[in-house]
Amino acid sequence: MDMLSTLFGSDARVKIMRLFLFNPEMNFDVEMVSRKSKVSPKMVRKEFSVLQSANFIKTKIFYKTVEKKIRGKSVEKKIKSRGFYLNERFHYLSAFKQLLINTKTLDNNAILRQLSKAGRLTFVVISGVFTHNPDSRVDMLVVGNNLNKTSLIRTVGAIEAELGKELVYAYFETPDFQYRLGMYDKLIRDIMDYPHQVLLDKINLK
């Protein structure tokens, strides 16, 4: 993302802009953007100011659902918040979509390095958002040995922050994946039958 960061002023701005471009129908407040993009609230406020002055985003009051503890119990409540949304009439919107959504942000080795924190990888496939294929059922398939679910969730969250979009992904232990593949499991077949890119293949599926 170095080239885009230089062009747009900061890595944080690229992440935030991409988040709005991928989610044009949503309202985001500072807390939501900070959580999704892994950018500090202070930096989010700074970037909001820049993007609003450029007319890239607009502000509105909206209601969001939050979870609160009341007498030891978790209760969902709707609260009012000052949010921002993508200005669909922004003059350069089409050009920005082309540049920020279609420009590759993570190379394959970077994706594998991040995913390897979750366990010993044996097979990794990317599709969907990575290959600009909206018909794919998942964006990522991860297969490995002794995969740590918590670590995988955290790693995928970091990749999502870079992309500005939530990912649909599936993961399996190697024996389970091989069994499902042999049984022509529908999810596996749907993934493999659509356009995809194999990043790692240690089980010699080819």
Residue extents of the structural domains in the chain: 2-102, 108-201
pLDDT of residue 42: 96
pLDDT tens-digit profile of 68-100?
A: 777 777 777 888 999 999 999 999 999 998 888
Instruction: Identify the pLDDT of residue 157.
Output: 93
Q: Enter the tokens of residue 49.
A: 């100011």
Which pLDDT does position 116 carry in this prediction? Answer: 94
Angle at 20 between CA 6 and CA 102, to 5 degrees: 60
Q: How far is CA 28 from CA 32, 93, 164, in A?
A: 6, 18, 12
- pLDDT value for 158: 92
Topology, domain 2-102: Arc Repressor Mutant, subunit A (1.10.10)
Phi and psi at residue 55, to the nearest 5°? 70, 20
In one-letter notation, the amino acid at residue 170 is: A
Q: What is the pLDDT of residue 205?
A: 78
Contact 47/10 with Cβ under 8 angstroms?
yes
- This prediction has a pTM of 0.80
| DSSP string across 157-190 | HHHHHHHTSPPPEEEEEHHHHHHHHHTT-HHHHH
Name the residue among 168, 175, 179 with its Cα closest to residue 144: 175
Q: Which residues of the chain have pLDDT under 50?
A: none
The two tokens of residue 187 are 């999810």
> 137: Cβ–Cβ under 8 A, 6 or more apart, which residues?
128, 168, 187, 190, 191, 194
